[in-house]
Amino acid sequence: MDRGLSSRRMWTGLAALALIVLAAVRLESLRWEVERVALEGAPAPATLYRLPGADGPPVVVAHGFAGSRQLMEAISLALARAGYRPVAYDLQGHGRNARPMGGDVTRIDGTTQRLVEEARGVARAAAEATGWTGPVPLVGHSMASDVVIRAGLGAGAPLIAISMYSEALTAETPARLLIVTGAWEPHLRAAALEALRLVDPAADEGDTAAAGEVLRRAAVAPWVEHVGVLYSPTTLRETLDWLDTAYGRQSPGGAVAATGGWIALLLGGITALGWSLAGLLPRRPAPPPLPGRVVIAAAVLPALTVPPVATALPGGLLPVLVADYLALHLALVGGLQLALLWALGHRPGRLDPWAAAALAVYGIAVFGLALDRYAASFVPTGPRLPILAALAAGCVPFMLADAWLGAGGRAPLWQRAVLRLAALAGLALAVALDPERLMFLAVILPVAVLFYLVYGLMGRWVGLRVGPLAPGLALGVVLAWALAASFPLFES
């Protein structure tokens, strides 16, 4: 049993700390002059950003499905630093908004109408708080692009739709619309071009089309996808230029200060520091990797057998989209895998409770809170806490089985790849069997990618030191936490 940092781990840790400090100082410096205050009277939790003495129009900033105010902060800060007074808010069922989404998601007069009314209520509160007497411009991403277009119809304010898809567009309305799409969003780029050509059939991407009082532009942010588009300097610059033109303003050149790279540097530094800190754990004896045929069987059989059983059971037990199914699915998959391994005579070794606690705390209180401050809501509050407990009942056995099958990171790469692919294939099969109820399982994809890239890596570093049980237990708790924080609340 050995403990202590090698010189390599020590220097890596020092370099990671330097990157963390550098990134945190840069991110905080973009906030130093900007006041961030809670917006009173809004129908949703909302934050008003402003420079002291700013007199620009208020701008409502709305995130997309499974997003939060934090996800839109690059835009909010750019607007505030340019003298505007943006208000970012958590939509129903998202972030810190305890009011669940409601109504029929398949009908415009259902969920969409409630979200439109909420956006208009935030706009009214923003105008009252700032003393603005004209119509309030709105910015919306993804799902919220349709919301802000509908909320702004007939109001006359300029609108910005990022990664847009909306059936509310016509050749005449809205009168002033900017559409920004990531270069790696081909279907949404096609939708943006179609909307542009409603005004001018000869227009192309990068053009501003005009017909009478209608002004419409479609811009493309290079090298980014559905989330990266929010941090692109092109998106920030286009947004400011569109509003400046509408209000006769000129934003300072320093207003656009992209935060995406600094956020990635910060989170990457925290992850790298985790490798160094793992060297402080004692090295304990651990069982060898399992035979390949056992890993394949334990990965594939539950992926094929659980979805038909789980989708046949009634849902709607938890007030979060597909969370009840996901908890059941993961519990059954993990339970079957654990039972199979035990029946075959395999044993996972001893649990190191201190290592499990250290990994869970680092993942939630260090990486998670940095994520919550700068990028995405990661704090399950209020009605999400019971959901966290219910999800843990499924996530813990699933991750324990995953870590055991992966031998705490000692298994060959191909075996670990089989585990990941089988897990995703099982969820895809569930969606195929019940698409109407489970289509929102697609929301888990970015969470799963982030989880395996970051937390899976940190769990492997811990598992290589102390065996599979500690990272399995810790990552089960972290996964439940991440899902409870990010999945939207929804009324039955």
252 to 41, 160, 389: CA distances (angstroms): 31, 20, 48
Confidence of residue 38 (pLDDT cuts 50, 70, 90): very high
Residue 314: the pLDDT is 77
Q: Give the pLDDT of residue 2.
A: 52
Can you name the residues that pair with 176 across neighbouring β-strands?
Answer: 215
Question: Does the structure show a pLDDT above 60 at 105?
Answer: no
- Domain ranges across the chain: 31-258, 283-486
Q: How far apart, in whole angstroms, are the C-alpha atoms of residue 218 and residue 447? A: 29
Identity at 303, one-letter amino acid code:
A
Q: Among 332, 458, 352, which Cα is nearest to 3's? A: 352
User: How much is the average pLDDT of 227-256?
Assistant: 94
Residue 316 has pLDDT above 70, yes or no: no
Average pLDDT over residues 247-262: 89
Looking at residue 372, its pLDDT comes to 95
How would DSSP label each residue in 188-204?
HHHHHHHHHHTT-TT--
Vertex 61 angle, CA 59 and 66, to 5°: 170
Give yes or no for a contact between 448 and 419, defined as CB atoms under 8 angstroms apart.
Answer: no
**In the chain, what percentage of residues exceed pLDDT 90?**
79
CA atoms lying within 13 Å on the CB side of residue 295:
23
Q: Are residues 440 and 322 in contact, defined by beta-carbon separation less than 8 angstroms? A: yes
Q: Which of 78-82, 91-95, 379-383 has the lowest mean pLDDT?
A: 379-383
**pLDDT attached to residue 108:** 55
Which amino acid type is present at position 189?
R
- Residue range 31-258 forms a domain whose CATH class is alpha beta
Q: In what order do the strands lie in the sheet with 138-141?
A: 35-38, 46-50, 85-89, 58-62, 138-141, 159-162, 176-182, 214-221, 208-211
Share of the chain above pLDDT 70, in %: 96
Lowest mean pLDDT among 55-64, 94-103, 162-171, 176-185: 94-103
- Angle between the N-to-C axes of helices 323-343 and 384-405, in degrees from 0 to 180, rounded to the nearest 10: 30
Whether the bond between 353 and the residue before it is cis, its omega within 30 degrees of 0, is no
State the pLDDT at residue 101: 85
Q: Which residues contact 7 (CB under 8 A, 6 or more apart)?
A: none
Confidence of residue 15 (pLDDT cuts 50, 70, 90): very high
The pLDDT value recorded for residue 6 is 85
Answer yes or no: is pLDDT of 491 > 80.
no
The arithmetic mean of pLDDT across residues 79-98, rounded, is: 95
Mean pLDDT in residue range 468-489: 93
Of 41-50, 112-121, 230-239, 445-454, minimum mean pLDDT range = 445-454
Average pLDDT, the chain: 92
- Other beta carbons less than 10 A from residue 180's beta carbon: 29
pLDDT band at 1; cut points 50, 70, 90: very low
Cβ atoms of 465 and 5 within 8 Å: the answer is no
Going by C-alpha positions, the residue among 100, 82, 185, 180 that lies closest to residue 140 is 180
Q: Going by C-beta distance under 8 Å and a sequence separation of 6 or more, which residues neighbour residue 459?
A: 359, 403, 409, 471, 472, 474, 475
Q: Which two tokens stand for residue 349?
A: 């070794």
pLDDT tens profile 328-386: 999 999 999 999 999 999 998 899 999 999 999 999 999 999 999 999 999 988 888 88
Question: Among 243, 54, 79, 68, which residue's Cα sits nearest to residue 132?
Answer: 54
How many helices and strands in the chain, by DSSP H and E? 17, 9
Of 9, 66, 414, 395, the closest CA to residue 227 belongs to: 66
Average pLDDT over residues 40-68: 95
Give me the pLDDT at residue 256, please.
86
> In this model, does residue 107 exceed pLDDT 60?
no
Burial degree of 473 (CB within 10 A; 0-12, 13-18, 19+):
buried
Question: How far is it, in rounded angstroms, from Cα 289 to Cα 409?
Answer: 9
Asked if 437 and 322 touch (Cβ cutoff 8 Å), the reply is yes
CB 27 within 8 A of CB 258: no
Rg (CA), the chain: 24
Give the model's confidence band at 486: pLDDT under 50 very low, under 70 low, under 90 confident, else very high: confident
Give the residue-averaged pLDDT of 193-208.
97
Rounded to an integer, the average pLDDT of 161-170 is: 95
